[in-house]
Structure 1
């Protein structure tokens, strides 16, 4: 009776560790940052173009998928300027526009799905002829997520990871290390629990993806929304995972009941299905948007496999083998398991380290980002677990565990409790944008176009300088009458100077593209407040000159 009480207490301790991990997930369940960045657009954000374009192009930092009805272009009067459906080709979205658009400022709103299944939203504006008050939109797209949906997504991921642990490792132990005389009812229940958790988290993930990407509430999901999710890459991968788990359930039945009906072919098929199932996790997460997606997907799958073998095996040892197996059986099982665990931990460290280096990309990203700090937390916890695992390996190598399994069970209890928290940190990580995404956004924000409109009684001159940074810059000049009509220019001249650094005026070669539009390129050698002078000759005797300053960074 006392032994059972101790067993229940220790089992409760493991469950408490899992609960702490889930609480950690809840506390860290902030709205996921956009995992893709808008890096450019055509027309550029805030630019004034002389003629109405026939399309708008948006380019993102990674491949994206469209959400039906979530991309719009509004004309200055508030009417829809887009026509037909937008198209996506990798990281580029093309929005066809109606012909004959009026003058003024247009508003482009978008909400799309990034390669790692997170919603990305935002707005840009551009003007035709001259700027005006931007049109008012009934709904501006953003990445707000319902709080209930926001909390359930990482919990669902946590349950999926837990299910993977209770499925992969226990199946390996049951197939290759389980003593013939021991009953399989307990391990069978454990494995069925793992199957249920993986299947349940998959169904939950499919359901949650609809309100997550659309920004709606948990129960504001229509059949068409679920159909769109299932038709996406995310939905296809999740369906594959569900099908693999169901197929594995049928193949596992002979192994779980110990009837001896399982064959080598069945075990081989289970191995193939296991690899396929493990691959579905990285295919719906950060690895797909990595700079080296093929490498990241393989590393992430290896990371999950190692974790599942190691932790799942620990659960089997703690819950069944150490309490039930005799010294002779443990003498045969523990050395083999020790080698498995050593190999799994080595693979875990290798895959996790390389993957973290890819996602973090810099020391600053490791220290000064939420993602990086969670990585450091995970590393610290993993170091403790590895130290405990090293101690348990020592017990096995010195045959201490065979004579007194109780000491090894205490060590395994500590490992399982800490790793439950590690799983919580892992579930939180997949909801947070890695530093490389933030760096892409920062790069986008610093690559700007300087746009100024210079006017006098005879002319309105619009000047665009891109990217307004040291190095090569492109310049566009547009001439209008005071009432915003194109004004033909016979000859253009322009110079650039940086008096503060002693740089005398540099002539800018200009090419006349149309009657009122000229372009040029200039290499600006230093940062600072540059002075630009423009002269536009409209007749043999009439010309207008303007001077402006612009900050070049």
Structure 2
């Protein structure tokens, strides 16, 4: 009679899970399409930053390195008197943003502030100035603070860590209970662990979705509005997180009978499909979906995450339940199988991690010269330690020591878990960090190399800056100081650049005096080499001096 009752229940569970899967597929199909981008940065602007134009433009054009989408009322143009100079809504066309501006505005310096969202869900903000007629004191945009709230950023990292921890606590018990669990042992403890893992993943998903609102808008931790939430849920990020919740709900229906006792192969297959779909939601809402090879990046990131969950989740089951409770005969059968699983999971982790690094880091220089690359190195070092401990555990299994004396392998397992807990923390930070391939790009608004030096003469000390110090357009800034290190007023500036090794004679650099001791200019350098930059500053009607710097141009 019990079997007759159980069969309809299982059929109902399968139908419910299939319905949940169908709903999530429909949600994916209806999710808004978005071009592949990642941590977009401002590439150029019109008018250009720090430039002086003769007449007020009718629009300001921002060109980003890749496509971006709008954050309401976060792109502004502030006139010299502090009023809003932008008119109407900015127009977004892939990577270009057109901002209508009042062409009858006053002369002086204008401030452009922006905050947009990359396709990998990360906000990008910045500001620059341009001047009409002549520079003036730059205005302040008190209503658009582009700084990210550190509390929100840290909360999102914690949510991601909790989600990763929940994933391994869910997958580990489910996998071991399905394929390795001795019949004589109670399933109550592992079942509680699995439900805890499911709850943590769901909690982290909801929290991450809610906190995406202030993360997008630049607000505090509890600055969550209906309009902001609607904006997030209408994005790919929000759609993918809703899909994850739907998959978790569908999986929970089939998980219950699995945690209570053995289930059929069909249930395991459906659970596997739901699990694979859920794993894909992490890369689909992060850097991998916006990489240069999104299909490859999403797949390898899901494999990376799945390998981590299988390996670490299995280690938790070993450390907490199997090693303390299973007898020598059971451990003798379980540990060799687990050892093979762990080896396969670690191999998948390693291979997927290498592919990820090649795509996201791109160059050796970016590996050591960016925060993302440094985090990858730190994660790799910790991973190497874990591999060493895992190799020791595998040695114990091969020697049949673990089954008769489980204490050594139990200690090794706890060491693995301790190190990998740190790895999860590094991973949670890594997914919130600008990819090295973007951070190392030489585009406006990103950190770029520049040349800087101090030149001295009997009349003044001159601070010279040139960016980005490479072939093409370069900006120069000159600051004059007295020998006592006070601003030195300059009556007239002159500057030339030359490349004698290539036969390029001195070229005049058009200069604009921004203050009485600070001048700036733009110059196009067509060739790489050691350029001679010569600056003449006249401090009075009769006093002037000339200094020279050698500027290496790449």
Q: Distance in 1 between matches of 2:290 and 2:376?
A: 18
Alignment deviations for residues 243-296 of structure 1 (CA, whole Å, 9 cap, x no partner):
2112211121111111x5x44333222212211211122223232343333322
Q: Distance in 2 between matches of 1:327 and 1:468?
A: 67
Alignment deviations for residues 489-532 of structure 1 (CA, whole Å, 9 cap, x no partner):
xxxxxxx9838558465999xxxxxxxxxxx9995575535799
Give secondary structure in 1 for the equivalent of 2:75.
strand
Equivalent in 143, 157, 174 of residue 139 of structure 1: 143
Give secondary structure in 1 for the equivalent of 2:127.
strand
User: Conserved in 2, the CA contact under 8 Å of 1:38 and 1:441?
Assistant: no
Instruction: State TM-score, norm by structure 2.
Output: 0.73
Match of 1:110 in 2: 114
Q: Distance in 1 between matches of 2:175 and 2:125?
A: 44
Give secondary structure in 2 for the equivalent of 1:440.
coil
Q: 1:85 to 1:397 in 2, by over 3 A?
A: same
Q: 1:413 to 1:135 in 2, by over 3 A?
A: closer
Pairwise CA distance, 1:316: 1.4
Match of 1:498 in 2: 498
Q: Distance in 1 between matches of 2:141 and 2:110?
A: 11
Pairwise CA distance, 1:111: 1.1
User: Conserved in 1, the CA contact under 8 Å of 2:499 and 2:531?
Assistant: no
Pairwise CA distance, 1:195: 0.2
User: Conserved in 2, the CA contact under 8 Å of 1:248 and 1:273?
Assistant: yes
Match of 1:183 in 2: 186
Q: Distance in 1 between matches of 2:357 and 2:525?
A: 40
Alignment deviations for residues 148-173 of structure 1 (CA, whole Å, 9 cap, x no partner):
x2332222111111001111222122
Match of 1:428 in 2: 429
Match of 1:68 in 2: 72
Q: Distance in 2 between matches of 1:363 and 1:235?
A: 34
Q: 1:552 to 1:502 in 2, by over 3 A?
A: same
Q: After the TM superposition, which residues 262-301 of structure 1 pair with which residues of structure 2 at under 5 Å, given as runs?
A: 262-301=263-302
Match of 1:413 in 2: 414
Between 343-352 and 363-372, report the one with greater CA deviation.
363-372
User: Conserved in 1, the CA contact under 8 Å of 2:41 and 2:443?
Assistant: no
User: Conserved in 2, the CA contact under 8 Å of 1:38 and 1:58?
Assistant: yes
User: Conserved in 1, the CA contact under 8 Å of 2:212 and 2:232?
Assistant: yes
Alignment deviations for residues 14-38 of structure 1 (CA, whole Å, 9 cap, x no partner):
xxxxxxxxxxxxxxxxxxxx94321
Instruction: State TM-score, norm by structure 1.
Output: 0.73
Give secondary structure in 2 for the equivalent of 1:302.
helix
Q: 1:339 to 1:447 in 2, by over 3 A?
A: closer
User: Conserved in 1, the CA contact under 8 Å of 2:499 and 2:529?
Assistant: no
Alignment deviations for residues 155-205 of structure 1 (CA, whole Å, 9 cap, x no partner):
211111100111122212211222333322111111001001101111111
Match of 2:35 in 1: none
Match of 1:372 in 2: 373
Compare relative contact order (CA 8 Å, sep 6+) and give the higher one, 1 or 2: 1
User: Conserved in 1, the CA contact under 8 Å of 2:49 and 2:130?
Assistant: yes
Alignment deviations for residues 124-162 of structure 1 (CA, whole Å, 9 cap, x no partner):
222344444433322353223143x23322221111110
Match of 2:169 in 1: 166
Q: Distance in 1 between matches of 2:395 and 2:419?
A: 19
- Kindly report the root-mean-square deviation, in angstroms, between the aligned alpha carbons of the 2 structures: 3.4
User: Conserved in 2, the CA contact under 8 Å of 1:123 and 1:141?
Assistant: no
Q: After the TM superposition, which residues 269-418 of structure 1 pair with which residues of structure 2 at under 5 Å, given as runs?
A: 269-418=270-419
Q: Distance in 1 between matches of 2:502 and 2:264?
A: 84
Between 401-410 and 385-394, report the one with greater CA deviation.
401-410
Alignment deviations for residues 50-87 of structure 1 (CA, whole Å, 9 cap, x no partner):
44433322222343222111111223343322222223
User: Conserved in 1, the CA contact under 8 Å of 2:213 and 2:223?
Assistant: no
Match of 2:206 in 1: 203
In structure 1, the gaps of 5 or more residues are 1-33, 449-465, 475-495, 509-519, 533-548
Q: 1:502 to 1:271 in 2, by over 3 A?
A: closer
Q: Distance in 1 between matches of 2:105 and 2:230?
A: 35
Q: 1:115 to 1:51 in 2, by over 3 A?
A: same
Pairwise CA distance, 1:390: 1.2
Matched pairs, number: 453
Q: After the TM superposition, which residues 400-549 of structure 1 pair with which residues of structure 2 at under 5 Å, given as runs?
A: 400-440=401-441, 498=498, 503=503, 523=526, 528-529=531-532
User: Conserved in 1, the CA contact under 8 Å of 2:440 and 2:447?
Assistant: no
Q: Distance in 2 between matches of 1:273 and 1:84?
A: 45
Pairwise CA distance, 1:552: 9.4
User: Conserved in 1, the CA contact under 8 Å of 2:214 and 2:223?
Assistant: yes
Q: Distance in 1 between matches of 2:93 and 2:211?
A: 26
